[in-house]
Amino acid sequence: MSNWAALRIGWIARRNAVFANPRFQHWAARLPVIRWIARSRADAAFDLLAGFAYAQVLRAYVEGGLFDVLHNGPLSAAAIAPRMGLSEQATLTLLRAGRPLKLSEEAAPDQWMLGEQGAVFAANPGVQAMVRHHRLLYADLADPMALLRADRKEPTDLSRFWTYAGALQGATERGEDTAEYSQLMAASQHFVADEVLASVSFKGVKRLLDVGGGHGAFLKAIGTAHPHLSLGLFDLPEVVATGGPVLAAAVGEVRVSTHPGNFFSDSIPQGYDLVSLIRILHDHDDAPAQSLLGNIRKSLTPGARLLIAEPMARIPGAEPMGEAFFGLYLWAMGSGRPRSPAEIIAMLRAAGFSAARPVATAQPVNASIIIAQA
């Protein structure tokens, strides 16, 4: 252990002992500046305690259709209640629960409208689709210790849903799973596409291949913004059979090439100067993820590049999303883990890439980016 690590361990231990001391807490609550810090920490601690309740309030707004109802506000609780199939008192309880979360707002006495966050959710069906989907995660996390103790190959609600995790665990209803997977990915993919479009230059890129590209939502966004690009879609045969025509209809058939295959066992199509992996790498454990990077590297000519975009671990300002949320999400899914940019860059070097660098994004909770060169 280095001297720096020993000093840091000692400092953390002393800090924790001070914060846990009731006498320090009592003292801190009485000093103006320290009191503000102490209150901020107390609020953060309560948010950790109440986070599940907050998420369930959001879920009720989505599944109950309350965002759509409030979009036509202001409305009274009595007018809202029958549209949700709730009593007036239950409706008021939900409206009031969403008020501090900024999902709803009482513009005048008993006149309810969308709050600031509610307006964002109401306008974004992709976010609402993810909220509905998270019921599976919450079910798997009902007993988190049991989930963590279980064999990761044991089926969970999430692993039954996701096509690729289900395939690894011997799922049989592949077609249905693939359709559900693609629908959810298409609904939310624009978050990542927006980060890529805002952060990455496509000047000089002529041909873009999206590996594991689903129904082509990412390629559609990039291809619409950059009409000079030829687009390649590589995914399982049952996915590209439906995704290819959807993408061709959106950007023009002449620009689209489809490549059915398995990116672990089949060769990656050659002739592309940029290959993208969008929210793919973190879905897989280290050995298959390393194999995938090696398979892609073999397909690239010198100078061609690989673009990786997904939520990553240890990103300043997005740490909870990376390891707290996606760490448990991927554990419940039964495959993969969030990785830091340093870990991914080390894997890229091991796969034979000559260089790799992170690219800053405005919203790392949506995605961080790494670009590697063959």
- Per-residue pLDDT tens, the chain, 374 aa: give them: 788 888 887 778 777 776 667 776 666 656 666 566 666 767 788 889 999 999 999 999 999 999 999 998 899 999 999 999 999 999 999 999 999 999 999 999 999 999 999 999 999 887 888 898 899 999 999 999 999 999 988 999 998 887 543 443 333 344 444 555 555 766 678 889 999 999 999 999 999 999 999 889 999 999 999 999 999 999 999 889 989 999 999 999 999 999 999 999 999 999 999 999 999 999 999 999 999 999 999 999 999 999 999 999 999 989 999 999 999 999 999 999 999 999 999 999 999 999 999 999 999 999 999 999 99
Q: Does some domain include residue 155?
A: no
Q: Does some domain include residue 287?
A: yes
- Determine the residue type at 28: A
Task: Give the end of a domain, one of 92, 107, 122.
Answer: 122
Task: Give the domain extent around 115.
Answer: 31-122
3-state class (DSSP) for residue 358: strand
Q: Does some domain include residue 130?
A: no
- Helices 237-251 & 217-225 angle (0-180, nearest 10): 30
203 and 342 in a common domain: yes
223 and 82 in a common domain: no
Q: Does some domain include residue 10?
A: no
365 and 220 in a common domain: yes
Query: Quick check: 310 and 279 in contact, CB under 8 A?
Result: yes
Cα–Cα dist 266/277, whole Å: 16
Q: Does some domain include residue 164?
A: no
193 and 70 in a common domain: no
Q: Does some domain include residue 250?
A: yes
Q: Which CATH number fits the domain that encloses residue 73?
A: 1.10.10.10
Q: What is the pTM of this model?
A: 0.85
Into how many domains does the chain fold?
2
Query: Quick check: 337 and 169 in contact, CB under 8 A?
Result: no
239 and 101 in a common domain: no
In sequence order, which residues have a C-beta less than 8 Å from that of residue 131 and are 6 or more positions away?
A: 58, 59, 62, 121
Q: Which CATH number fits the domain that encloses residue 229?
A: 3.40.50.150
In sequence order, which residues have a C-beta less than 8 Å from that of residue 159 and are 6 or more positions away?
A: 165, 166, 169, 171, 332, 333, 334, 335
